[in-house]
Chains A and B, each alone.
Chain A
């Protein structure tokens, strides 16, 4: 795979994404991770829900299923259980995964279901025009929080760690090298692997929070993000729910618990053996 357009559908260009959106960076990083690993696009399936990030599979030249809002992980569970030879990759966003699909996120992590999930967290509902999401910072403005967000945002990465995922990392779109590295680790991991990418949405989020220029949003991501190793806050309380607005970045877990598919297959094998005896 020598070219970006070996992986992406050129006939669908240009994309629907706004100027300054971080999704393009994530697509580029994903192309690099995918091609450097030498993965076969005919041996993967892409799944997504609804939202801006969920449009990515539609641009990939591979089997892809753009499902209903929030349900990508549940559909992916059916895909990977029924064909364990296929690698299932999910693209999702903070609204799709953290709000309407929150229950599937918890349980796919808990089951360690075989899939790699990339969540592009832009702190806002972009597709519908900038409403507060579960990861909108406290006091931030959106069309549904005109007086500032009274709630505190969700720590999606910590949720995945706690619920049982095998691999969890979070980066911003500024950390492209680290992001590509984590994407590669997540793609070769058995079980549930999760990479969250904090990403700018100048149109939906920035405009209402004095960051209409994408450069301001990149600067904001730089100031707010702190590597976990350097973070006193994270050491004190990893599940901080971002009360102080910090985006802790790094690799949070990398373990090899048995995956749902492997447990299912070993159960069936044991059953076969007991029948033979």
Chain B
């Protein structure tokens, strides 16, 4: 049974499991890793109840591979991991982008590099989510800050992955994943499905229209489609001509970037303020406390990280005298914000960075704002 509409009290990772079920997940393949393991454990119990399939694979590479396979026979499929496993998955994230395979990856971020801080949060995988695999491509990445977000954004990630035929990544962290809190399941949940091929033409399996997203020629229906990670034409056949590769790579990025405004989810508070905090994920909660006490400070929370909500950041920077970016890394979104703010003439952009595995406290933020 999917959760009925109502209010629940759960751990972030558990809410993610329920979000996946609400979105219609049919397949999960994963490998145990702290701090994401509760998602695998939850789906091992919940998926069979929904007639779905759970399998624990031999490693993270196998996990994302099995998810890719499942997606090509038409399932909504997902895996969950943390930094080391996310690193292992990178090659096949590029493969999924290249072959336009819808899938969802939950990355519950922990401190890195390497084994790092297995049980403590960080936001160190932000640029890896964007640039982790080789070559030019685009993915969708969302950053939850609350248990409610874990539920909502997991559903959104499935929707974006299905609509744009792309890997969609939920960049959670150990703080949000292990946080317990209240969340609401609404009566109506928007659940989107990939557009399927219906005709039986087998020589143009990757033909596309103005949406730039080809309809999905699901395996087993007689489309006789060939899928390859090699640069390919609309038949799906391997090709290495410069014009074919250029058309493909530009389309793979453009199909997502052209809809950046539809994918951007942001929340703005104290919109008239001239000092703004820009953040995402767990530091948002501390920032909320700061702005509740001081209405002269605004807050822009990025729920979508990739593609970057450039318009929202620029509109804040246009009137702001100062922007403070909060991140649990040495500055990954910070430089993006700095770049956009400079374009709008806001030259004071500062980073309050934490990498020790602790979230910024509200008083740290207040002190940092005063120092400026």
Are the CB atoms of B226 and A57 closer together than 8 Å? yes
**Which of B61, B203, B221, B227 is close to A65, meaning CB atoms less than 8 Å apart?**
B227
Are the CB atoms of A264 and B62 closer together than 8 Å? no
Are the CB atoms of A79 and B58 closer together than 8 Å? no
* Per-position binary interface string of chain B over residues 42-86, scored 1 when its CB falls under 8 Å from any chain A CB and 0 otherwise: 000000110101010111011101111111111101000000000
Binding site for B on A (CB under 8 A): 11-12, 41-43, 45, 47, 57-58, 61-68, 71, 74-83, 85-86, 103-104, 106-107, 264, 267-268, 271
| Cβ of B194 under 8 Å from chain A | no
Separation of A58 and B227 alpha carbons in the complex (Å): 8
- The chain B residue sitting closest to A75, CB to CB, is B69
Separation of A61 and B73 alpha carbons in the complex (Å): 17
Query: Could you name 17 residue pairs across A and B whose Cβ atoms are closer than 8 Å?
Result: A42-B220, A43-B220, A61-B202, A61-B224, A63-B225, A65-B219, A66-B227, A66-B238, A71-B62, A74-B69, A77-B29, A78-B27, A79-B73, A81-B53, A82-B77, A85-B220, A103-B58
Tell me whether A74 and B228 are in contact in the complex, defined as CB-CB below 8 angstroms, given that A43-B220, A63-B223 are known contacts.
no
Residues from chain A with Cβ under 8 Å of B229 in the complex: 66-68
Are the CB atoms of B95 and A67 closer together than 8 Å? yes
Are the CB atoms of A79 and B70 closer together than 8 Å? yes
Binding site for A on B (CB under 8 A): 26-27, 29, 48-49, 51, 53, 55, 57-59, 61-63, 65-75, 77, 91-92, 95, 99, 202-203, 219-230, 237-238
Are the CB atoms of A74 and B62 closer together than 8 Å? yes
Residues from chain B with Cβ under 8 Å of A104 in the complex: 58, 62, 65
**Which of A57, A62, A66, A78 is close to B69, meaning CB atoms less than 8 Å apart?**
A78
Are the CB atoms of B68 and A67 closer together than 8 Å? yes
Residues from chain A with Cβ under 8 Å of B65 in the complex: 67-68, 71, 74-75, 77-78, 104
Q: How far is the CB of B4 from chain A (nearest CB, A)?
A: 19
Name A's interface SS. Answer: helix
Are the CB atoms of B66 and A62 closer together than 8 Å? no
**Which of A57, A63, A66, A107 is close to B230, meaning CB atoms less than 8 Å apart?**
A66
Chain A CB within 10 A, most for which of B51, B61, B92: B61
Are the CB atoms of B222 and A42 closer together than 8 Å? yes
Chain B CB within 10 A, most for which of A43, A71, A78, A264: A78
Are the CB atoms of A79 and B69 closer together than 8 Å? yes
Are the CB atoms of A82 and B55 closer together than 8 Å? no
Residues from chain B with Cβ under 8 Å of A106 in the complex: 58
Name B's interface SS. Answer: mixed
- The chain B residue sitting closest to A59, CB to CB, is B226
Would you list the 10 A-B pairs with minimal beta carbon distance, nearest first? A78-B69, A74-B65, A78-B66, A78-B70, A66-B228, A74-B62, A83-B73, A75-B69, A79-B69, A82-B70
Separation of A268 and B51 alpha carbons in the complex (Å): 8
Separation of A12 and B233 alpha carbons in the complex (Å): 13
Are the CB atoms of A75 and B68 closer together than 8 Å? yes
Chain B CB within 10 A, most for which of A45, A61, A77: A77
Separation of A59 and B77 alpha carbons in the complex (Å): 28
- The chain B residue sitting closest to A82, CB to CB, is B70
Q: How far is the CB of B31 from chain A (nearest CB, A)?
A: 11
Are the CB atoms of B224 and A81 closer together than 8 Å? no
Q: How far is the CB of B357 from chain A (nearest CB, A)?
A: 31
Residues from chain A with Cβ under 8 Å of B68 in the complex: 65, 67, 75, 78
Q: How far is the CB of B275 from chain A (nearest CB, A)?
A: 47
- The chain A residue sitting closest to B203, CB to CB, is A11
**Which of A11, A45, A103, A268 is close to B62, meaning CB atoms less than 8 Å apart?**
A103
Q: How far is the CB of B25 from chain A (nearest CB, A)?
A: 12
Residues from chain B with Cβ under 8 Å of A271 in the complex: 48-49
Residues from chain A with Cβ under 8 Å of B227 in the complex: 64-66
- The chain A residue sitting closest to B101, CB to CB, is A65
Q: How far is the CB of A254 from chain B (nearest CB, A)?
A: 26
Tell me whether A58 and B226 are in contact in the complex, defined as CB-CB below 8 angstroms, given that A81-B53, A81-B55, A83-B220 are known contacts.
yes
- The chain B residue sitting closest to A55, CB to CB, is B238
**Which of A42, A65, A78, A80 is close to B29, meaning CB atoms less than 8 Å apart?**
A78
Residues from chain A with Cβ under 8 Å of B69 in the complex: 47, 65, 74-80, 82
**Which of B57, B75, B203, B221 is close to A82, meaning CB atoms less than 8 Å apart?**
B75
Tell me whether A64 and B58 are in contact in the complex, defined as CB-CB below 8 angstroms, given that A58-B238, A81-B70 are known contacts.
no
Separation of A41 and B221 alpha carbons in the complex (Å): 10
Residues from chain A with Cβ under 8 Å of B27 in the complex: 78, 81-82
Are the CB atoms of A71 and B61 closer together than 8 Å? yes
Tell me whether A103 and B59 are in contact in the complex, defined as CB-CB below 8 angstroms, given that A41-B224, A66-B228, A67-B229 are known contacts.
yes
Separation of A12 and B99 alpha carbons in the complex (Å): 20
Residues from chain B with Cβ under 8 Å of A65 in the complex: 68-69, 72, 99, 219, 227-228
Are the CB atoms of A68 and B91 closer together than 8 Å? yes
Residues from chain B with Cβ under 8 Å of A82 in the complex: 26-27, 53, 69-70, 73-75, 77
Separation of A158 and B83 alpha carbons in the complex (Å): 36
